[in-house]
Amino acid sequence: MTFDQTVLFALFIGVFGMLLWGRFRYDLVAFTALMIGILLGVVPTEEAFSGFGHEATIIVALVLIVSAGLVRSGAVLLITRTLIDSSRRLGAHIAIMGTIGGVLSAFMNNVAALALLMPVDIQTARKAGRAPGLSLMPLSFATILGGMITLIGTPPNIIISSIRGQYLDAPYRMFDFAPVGIVTALAGLLFVALVGWRLIPRAEDGGAPIDPMEGYSDYTSELVVPEDSKIVGKRIEDLYEEADSADAVIVGLIRDGKRRYGNQRTTMIEAGDALVIEATPEALDEFRASQNLKFADEKREENLRSDGAGLSKIEVVVTTDSRINGRTAQSIGLNWRRHAVILGIRRSGRKIRTRIGKTPVKTGDILLLLVPNGQEAAVTEWLGCLPIAERGLTVTDQTKIGLAVGLFTLAVAAASFGFVILPVALGLVVVGYVLAGILAVREIYNHVEWPVVVLLGSMIPLGTALESSGGTQLIAGGLVSLTQGLPAWSVLTLLMIVTMSLSDVLNNTATAIVAAPVGIQMASALGKNPDPFLMAVAVAASCAFLTPIGHKNNTLILGPGGYRFGDYWRMGLPLEILVVAVSIPAILFFWPM
């Protein structure tokens, strides 16, 4: 190997190792690798930041903004409310929800699609009296499968299209992925609806809880006793009856900033104490009002009400990329920066033993937040979390559903028929949404997932350098040697398995950036058409079903579904095997070698 190849392989191995470790966020890891590559001379200085202006990066950012516009217009919510019925049998419910999720994910960001559908699914489970964990994982997998159908459905497709345009004659068009994507998605959805959900661990196996809202609505929270409260001087046990009537449970006491051992049932209540409560948001508010308690101390209460706009509650899920992940509300300045307070934390069946404001938040936690009216979306986006409840979010304007859908449909048609390139078409949709008042100007950039933009902008120059140095040719040659003498379809299968395995533990966008050039080199070594190999990479990079870290959708359902890390492979492994078995023949049929 040459010096450049050695350095680049070391950088990629280092990036993958750091991503697996998970100590640092993926955008920081990728950007650091880019800087090292520039300093060592393996990435030309003039190409250092070319990835940030790359077509794939622009499309990913625009798709996120357009997705937000479709949600804000009420178009997606109208569909779900019209088609969902809690009286259906579980298999039928999963089939319908999965189909809706798959179709939406084909035309909008699949994370946004799941974030919108998840509260609908949880509410349906509550009405039907079943655990949400029985349907959330199928819904997550369905939205991942649906993203494979179009160019804009998932970032790996956008990356692979751009790489084809860079190395071959032209990029893929909007629906070039559809033939293989539809066949694979349909097979996956049938499996999920008929068989897959039966493989999800039940409560007795340590899986999803029996209570349909066990992993969703019961929070560990704190309520502060003001000086003029009528409960000052009472014992905590004197409040048990009132708490029970409000469906709340008093589980502890905080005095002078310290959590006291035990439930302190005989302790006399003093002004400034904080009662530790376990309750739903509604029960918490009812108990607070009945006993004249406060959500926060005087200083935080003053910050909350400083804008004079009133208050509202929102519920959000913490992801690996959230600002608060691994940190406390105090350390990020949630109250003084955003005038918000964490009312409660729900953590996969485990109780919170420390003060809420001083508790480090973890991936999969569900947070109950108190925020000023009108700041719900801004606080959620600043935290980098995802909303899981309809209340507290910006009110949709359903009078603009037709306009929002019409502009988007027109743009997709224009790009599909080649009248304008896709980035321009999506950019015009964004302009139209702003002029029509569907999206506010101040909110546009909040919808862009900047860590993904930095990841793409950093990895694309590194991937280009690996290709120009001959590194991808070495990898391709090694894979071809492993299948020496075997038919070409077996090489295609090996490429899919390797790519899918990487995607289960790494970011799927980074996986696509590395695997797509390797696929082109493998096709060249075999003297075959590169399109089947690129399609194999597209399918494999998207299908991450074995772990909660393989795809953001899997992380999003971790807490609300009451899942454990090892629950995913039970349905995910047979689904991945099915995807390979179905997609290989479909690829060879629609994209002959």
CATH number at 251 reads 3.30.70.1450
CA 579 to chain CA centroid, Å, is 22
* Enclosing H/E stretch for 356: none
Query: Average pLDDT in the 473-497 region?
Result: 82
More confident residue, 330 or 394: 330
At residue 590, the pLDDT reads 95
**505 and 564 part of one domain:** yes
Number of domains in the chain: 3
Predicted pLDDT at 510: 76
What is the rounded CA–CA span in Å between residue 522 and residue 568? Answer: 32
Domain boundary among 387, 405, 439: 387
- The structure tokens 């799927």 sit at 508
**How large is the angle between the packed helices 450-468 and 508-526, nearest 10 degrees?**
20
Residue 285, pLDDT > 80, answer: no
Q: No. of H helices and E strands in the chain?
A: 23, 8
pLDDT tens string 63-107: 778 877 877 777 766 666 566 676 788 889 999 999 999 998 888
- Pairwise pLDDT comparison (239 vs 452), residue with the higher score: 239
- Quick check: 155 and 510 in contact, CB under 8 A? no
Report the C-alpha gap between 197 and 461 in whole angstroms: 41
The reply to whether 437 falls in a domain is no
> Out of 146-155, 239-248, 307-316, 437-446, which region has the weakest mean confidence (pLDDT)?
307-316
Using the predicted structure, report yes or no on whether residue 591 has a pLDDT greater than 90: yes
- In the three-class reduction of DSSP (H, G, I as helix; E, B as strand; rest coil), residue 446 is classed as helix
pLDDT given at position 324: 92
The whole-chain average pLDDT of the chain stands at 81
Task: Read off the pTM.
Answer: 0.60
Residue whose structure tokens are 């060249």: 524
As a whole-number percent, the residues of the chain with pLDDT over 70 amount to 85
CA dihedral in degrees (415, 416, 417, 419; nearest 10)? 10
Residue at 473 is within a domain:
yes
CA angle at 367 for the pair 361 and 370, rounded to the nearest 5°: 120
At residue 303, the pLDDT reads 65
Q: For residues 6 and 29, give the distance between their C-alpha atoms in angstroms, rounded to a whole number.
A: 19
Cβ 174 vs Cβ 416: under 8 Å: yes
- Most confident listed range (19-23, 38-42, 169-173, 395-399): 38-42
- One domain for residues 108 and 151: yes
User: Does 172 share its domain with 288?
Assistant: no
Residues 203 and 118 in one domain: yes
Q: Are 491 and 355 in the same domain? A: no
- Which SS3 state, helix, strand or coil, does residue 220 take? strand
Structural domain contains residue 231? yes
Q: Which domain holds residue 222?
A: 217-294
User: Which of the 8 DSSP states describes residue 235?
Assistant: B
Helix/strand/coil (H, E, C) string of 489-550?
HHHHHHHHHHHHHHHHHCCHHHHHHHHHHHHHHHHHHHCCCHHHHHHHHHHHHHCCCCCCCC
CA–CA separation, 473 and 100 (whole Å): 41
The Cα-based distances of 499 to 177, 324, 504, 511 in angstroms read 17, 31, 9, 7
Q: Does residue 168 carry a pLDDT above 60?
A: yes
Flag whether pLDDT at 428 surpasses 90: yes
Task: Give pLDDT, residue 214.
Answer: 42
What span, in angstroms and rounded, lies between the C-alpha atoms of 345 and 352? Answer: 8
pLDDT at 204 over 50: no
For residues 281 and 312, membership in a common domain is answered with no
If you ran DSSP here, which 8-state letter would residue 172 be given?
A: -
- Give the least confident one: 75-89, 257-271, 278-292: 75-89
Residue 433 inside a domain? The answer is no
- The pLDDT of 321-339, averaged and rounded, is 88
User: Which H or E run includes 464?
Assistant: helix 450-468
In the prediction, which pLDDT does 263 show?
Answer: 67
Closest CA to 484 of 453, 522, 510, 514: 522
Compute φ and ψ for 91, nearest 5 degrees: -60, -45
Token pair listed for 131: 């655990």
Burial of 136-156, coded b for 16+ CB within 10 Å and e otherwise, reads: bbbbbbbbbbbbbbbbbbbbb
Residue 395: pLDDT band (50, 70, 90) is: very low
Q: What is the pLDDT of residue 210?
A: 38
**If you average pLDDT over residues 42-67, what whole number do you get?**
83
User: Does residue 401 lie within any of the structural domains?
Assistant: no
Q: Is the same domain home to 75 and 200?
A: yes
311 shares a domain with 256: no
The last residue of one of the domains, among 273, 294, 315, is 294
pLDDT at 205 over 80: no
Please calculate the CA angle 46-54-105 and round it to the nearest 5 degrees.
Answer: 160
**pLDDT for res 297:** 62
Q: Is residue 443 part of a domain?
A: no
Q: Taking a C-beta distance cutoff of 8 angstroms, is the pair 296, 275 a contact?
A: no
Of 294, 319, 335, the domain-final residue: 294
- Shared domain for 277 and 310, answered yes or no, is no
Q: Do residues 473 and 518 lie in contact, with contact meaning Cβ atoms separated by under 8 Å?
A: no
Residues 72 and 176 in one domain: yes
Residue 32 to residue 278: CA distance in whole angstroms: 43
pLDDT at residue 566 is higher than 80: no
pLDDT of 212? 35
Residue 521 lies in a domain: yes
Mean pLDDT of 146-174: 88
- 407 inside domain: no
Confidence of residue 206 (pLDDT cuts 50, 70, 90): very low
Q: 584 and 494, same structural domain? A: yes
Range with the lowest mean pLDDT among 31-35, 270-274, 391-395?
A: 391-395
